[in-house]
Structure 1
Amino acid sequence: MTKAKNEAAESRIPIPQEAFDWYDEYAHGDIDRRTFLTRIASLSIAGLSVGVIGNALLPDYAKAEQVSFNDPAIKATYEEFASPEGHGTGGGYLVIPSSLSADQKAPAVLVVHENRGLNPYIKDVARRLASQGFIAFAPDALFPLGGYPGNDDDGRAMQRSLDKQKIENDFIAAARWLHSHDQTTNKLGVVGFCFGGYISNFLAATLPDVISAAVPFYGTPAKGELQARVKGPLLLHFGEKDKRVNATWPEYEKVLKDNGAEYSAHVYAQAQHGFHNDSTSRYSPKDAELAWQRTLAFFNSHLR
């Protein structure tokens, strides 16, 4: 079977919900790869092998490139920033619209990765934003360890080895660096996915006077004592099947209401955690596109 036919076959696999739930456990470090694949092997799905099912669930980042790294509409560079309260120095992927001259400014968006470092999918999200006229910066929490290692298993282990508070301080420093960049306006947004969704909520709470718009995709809220500082505006995206994250939403929503914060939330029917990530079978094209168009409209409304 050709690679194209293999991919087409995998995309049609009727994966049961427990497999998605096991992948969520694996992706968040609750079980290791061997345990994940052993559980997958216990399934009997139309005689398909554990390899086919596993490959359908595990990321294939070649699928995630919607905007080429050498697209003439954007210019991408790697930049460093000072992070004295974090790991000393941080680094990330800066993408600027090519149409922006040196003396022009544009609103900026901080793009925050999942729990495994700056992988190709997140870099592509930054390019997508730059192609829409925003200056996008995607920091890599793994910069102090040499950066994203090229595979998610090692990246996940590396991120777990770092001090969480220092990681948070690195993202605070990244937000301040981007906000003060010579080519950015005083309007800064943040969008993040999974761990990045948490960081988006965290920055909305920690830097309410710096963050002009926050978009957490399936992210948990900041710690309770910080939540009271959130003013918004926030645009929150949830997958209906994401029980772990969704369980935190009712209490968080109550806090937002008590704060008088400006927010809107969308739950996408039948969607999984990670439904925006187009590199795995959790990807829901229709929901991802709708959530992305809502995100762009939100940023255009609050940052321009």
Structure 2
Amino acid sequence: MSRSLVQVETPAGEMPAHLWLPEGGQVPGRGSGILLLQEIFGLSRYVESRAQDLADLGHVVLVPEIYWRLGVSAVPEGPAAMDEALGLMGRVDWEAAVGDGVAALAALRDRPEVTGGVGIVGFCFGGGLGFNVAAVSSPDLLVSFYGSAIPQLLDLAPLVTTPTLHHFGLADSYIDPETVAHVREVVEQGPDVVVETYEGADHAFDNPDLPMHHPEASARAWRTTTDYLAERLPRS
């Protein structure tokens, strides 16, 4: 595994970020870029594993520490994790986090290891953040897993013109089926949007470290995502 800690310049200072380089692919250490935006728990074990999965597919993966302004990299696992994560998310300056995401996307695109297009993959908190980042910048694609903020960001939908893939569970404890249907209705007015839904799948169904994990939905969503990236993300 090739992983390193790097810094992303922002107006407020240097934001820590973690870089995974592919060891395989056409040219080892090089490939298209993916900005991976964290779930509510920050740089969790799950986020790290998905970053490695994407690097194994041949992508250069950058994961910024979005909670850096709060002095937190990741929420410790344990019974208090959800309450702590919700507290952190409530303290996040959303506009600053969007700006940090835009800065990280630009930094990734400028890296010499990136030899193709640059996309965004976001989970939960990061899925909504990625949607907002895509509305104010120009990624080559966006993949959002159950973006929790998207229902409140639908006024930005006309600005998201990049190809987009959304995943939603239909048993989501935070985004009910009626809201998912409304999100689909709005975002599918865009030029190149795919919305995939999963019967019986709760929020965070892709995370095997949580009780909401849904193995079948997770496997199908990840297979759809890897096929989508292979087809849509430009490579050199």
Shorter-chain TM band: 0.7 to 0.9
1:1-304 equivalent positions in 2, closer than 5 A: 74-84=1-11, 87-99=12-24, 105-144=30-69, 145-151=71-77, 152=81, 153-207=83-137, 210-219=138-147, 220-221=149-150, 223-242=153-172, 244-245=174-175, 246-259=177-190, 261-303=191-233, 304=235
CA deviations over 1:199-233 (Å, ceiling 9, x no partner): 121122222xx311111111142634422111131
Q: CA deviation at 1:156?
A: 4.0
Higher relative contact order (CA 8 A, sep 6+): 2
Distance 2:211 2:104 in 1: 31
Q: Which amino acid aligns with 1:269?
A: E
Q: Distance in 1 between matches of 2:224 and 2:144?
A: 12
Name the % identity.
25
Letter of the 2:158 partner, please give it.
A
Distance 1:103 1:239, change over 3 A: closer
Given the two structures, how large is their TM-score scaled by the length of structure 2?
Answer: 0.86
* d(CA) in 2 for partners of 1:191, 1:91: 18
Q: CA RMSD in A?
A: 2.3
Q: Which amino acid aligns with 1:148?
A: A
Query: What SS is found at the alignment partner of 2:8?
Result: strand
Q: Report the residue type matching 2:3 in the other structure.
A: A
Superposed CA deviations along residues 237-296 of structure 1, whole A, max 9, x for unmatched, are 11110153244433433333434x201111111111110001012111121111101101
TM-score in terms of structure 1 length: 0.68
Per mean C-alpha deviation after superposition, the further-off stretch among 274-283 and 246-255 is 246-255
Is the contact made by 1:194 and 1:217 (CA closer than 8 Å) also made in structure 2? Answer: yes
Change in CA separation of 1:214 and 1:141 when aligned onto 2, cut-off 3 Å: same
CA 1:147–1:257 in 2, change beyond 3 Å: closer, same or farther?
A: closer
The answer to whether the 8 Å contact 2:184/2:195 transfers is no
Paired with 1:218 and 1:149, the residues of 2 have a C-alpha distance of 20
Task: Output one character per residue of 1:151-189: Cα deviation in whole Å (capped at 9) or x when no partner.
Answer: 434444334323221112111111111111111134111
Residue 218 of structure 1 aligns with an amino acid whose one-letter code is Y
CA gap of 1:257–1:276, structure 2 versus 1, over 3 A, is closer
Gaps of at least 5 residues in structure 2 are none
| Per-residue deviation, 1:197 | 1.1
| Whole-angstrom distance in 1 between the partners of 2:133 and 2:91 | 22
Number of residue pairs matched by the alignment = 226
